[in-house]
Structure 1
Amino acid sequence: MSMWSVVGLVVLVLLIGAGYTAQRLMRLQGPTQGDVIDKASRGQSALLVLDVQEDFTKDTKARQWPAAFVEERIARINALAAEAQARGEPVITTRLIYEGGYTNFLIGLLGEGLGAKGSDGLELDKRIGFQPDMDIVKSVGDAFASEELEAFLKTHGVGRLRIAGLDGCYCVKSTALGALGRGYAVELAEDAVLSIDPKGWTDCRAELVSKGVQLVKSAELAVAQ
């Protein structure tokens, strides 16, 4: 085989690998599709708190949170959960733990290993001050990839979801879109959402609103209900 044939083969392998990697990353963060619910028969609301785990709330070399930002957002999440449970509404937490050797390789290479199997930061942040009615482990961004979540919401007659947690541009966005696609009414407690990219989150939030998500403030929820 000539040198140019070898070079061509290497380039081809790299292109195939890059395409596979891009496809895998899109699958990890894109919304999923599922059956549309009968919202008229589901009068209950629930709070869904996404991925507030030690791995994702700590500062790392590549990810630095603004001072006191995480403390404030977690305090708001705790208040939302207390209010929801006082009204008899279920509170669900999720934790993101990636599956698969290649996915965990990518997360180690591109994502500082955060959320990878074997990490010591996979549990909920210790500042979370409530006991969820259900805690779900997921391996992709959209929580609706979990059959457990859909079954829980069906059992409890939930047709309206309030979403909080992180990251706004990834798991929050994909879960909100997954919920909308299934016919849920979706509220975003925007002052209880964390995003490491504030500018990007402004664009993501606008996109979600354009698709039917309602923005609410955590302080307003207690007054409105």
Structure 2
Amino acid sequence: MTILENRPNTALLVVDVQKGVVEGAHQRDVVVANVAGLVERARREGVPVVWVQHSDEELTRGSDGWRIVPELTPEDAEPLVEKSYGDSFEDTTLETVLSGLGVGRLVVAGAETDACIRSTLHGAFTRGYDATLVSDAHTTGDKTAWGAPPPDQVIAHANLYWTYQTAPGRTAGAVETKDVVFGGTS
């Protein structure tokens, strides 16, 4: 249903599941296991897995914290997009990668819910992509010291608002890992 022409394919977009990003994150092990299950299923079904890896002043490229968590291993043939802004499309090669794969629909998982996941979902949607958030495969750290709600509430709110996101000619939604359908609308 995407408004992007000749882009019938779906990709799993794994955003910032890096040691320094998810260390201490809400339900880290459960979320990483759900992401790993999605990656395995996508590979088995021939669905492209596209990895996104963040770096900035606090998360230095090449540092231990910058590395993808050890439970997940991108395959050599899988695209890895490096970014330095919240929106995975902003000043990156992501659009070129997805266009080359004929992708018009994204299934999104990773971290952090209230930053890069949210920005990437909105970035995808405004660029014409259908975007499904995997409701139990994204997480965030505790930012209550800065006035944010607790992580479980941040995650629940993201799932709620993305479930009801609408725009002409595009679909959105939030589904659990077990309900993800790569071949069509979840």
What's the TM-score, normalizing by structure 1? 0.68
Query: Contact conserved, 1:165 with 1:192, CA < 8 A, in 2?
Result: yes
Deviations along 1:68-114, one digit per CA (max 9) or x if unpaired, are: x212111111111111112211101111101xxxxx3xxxxxxxx3x
Question: Gaps spanning 5+ residues in structure 1: where?
Answer: 1-36, 60-64, 99-103, 105-112
Q: Is it true that 1:55 corresponds to 2:55 in the alignment? A: no
Shift, 1:127, TM fit: 1.1
Query: Structure 1 residues 117, 85: CA separation in 2 closer, same or farther (over 3 Å shift)?
Result: closer
Residues 9-28 of structure 1 aligned to structure 2 (within 5 Å): none
- Identify the residue that residue 46 of structure 2 maps to in structure 1: 88
The corresponding residue for 1:220 is 179
Amino acid at match of 1:217: E
CA gap of 1:84–1:117, structure 2 versus 1, over 3 A, is closer
Deviation at 1:157, TM superposition (A): 0.5
Contact kept in structure 1, 2:47 and 2:182, CA below 8 Å: no
Query: Deviation per CA, 1:100-148, whole angstroms, max 9, x where unpaired?
Result: xxxx3xxxxxxxx3x2457431010011145261111100110011441
Tell which structure's C-alpha radius of gyration is larger: 1
Local SS of the residue matching 1:41: coil
Separation of aligned partners in 1, 2:7 and 2:62: 39
- Structure 2 residue aligned with 1:73: 31
8 Å contact from structure 2 (residues 162, 174) kept in 1:
no
Q: Verify the 8 A CA contact 1:177 1:208 in the aligned structure 2.
A: no
1:158-192: per-residue Cα shift (whole Å, max 9, x none)?
00000000011110000000000011000111111
**In 2, Cα distance between equivalents of 1:199 and 1:208:** 14
Deviation at 1:224, TM superposition (A): 7.8
Say whether the 8 Å CA contact 1:78–1:130 is kept in structure 2.
no
CA RMSD of aligned residues (A): 2.2
- Asked if residue 41 in structure 1 is aligned to residue 6 in structure 2, the reply is yes
Question: Cα distance 1:38–1:200, how it changes in 2: closer, same or farther (>3 A)?
Answer: closer
Q: From the two aligned structures, give the one with the greater helix fraction.
A: 1
Q: Distance in 2 between matches of 1:222 and 1:79?
A: 13
1:40, CA displacement in angstroms?
Answer: 4.2
Aligned-partner Cα distance in 1 for 2:87–2:177: 22
1:127 maps onto 2:81 in alignment: no
Partner of 2:124: 179
TM-superposed deviation, 1:200: 2.2
Structure 2 letter corresponding to 1:121: G
TM-score w.r.t. structure 2 length? 0.81
Check the 8 A contact 2:81/2:92 in 1, yes or no. no
Distance verdict in 2 for CA 1:97–1:203, change over 3 Å: same
Code of the residue aligned with 2:37 in structure 1: it is A
Structure 2: stretches of 5+ with no match in the other structure: 142-150, 167-171
Residues 79 and 222 of structure 1: CA distance in aligned 2, closer, same or farther (over 3 Å): farther
CA distance in 2, matches of 1:120, 1:224: 35
1:51 deviation in Å?
0.3
1:198 aligned partner:
152
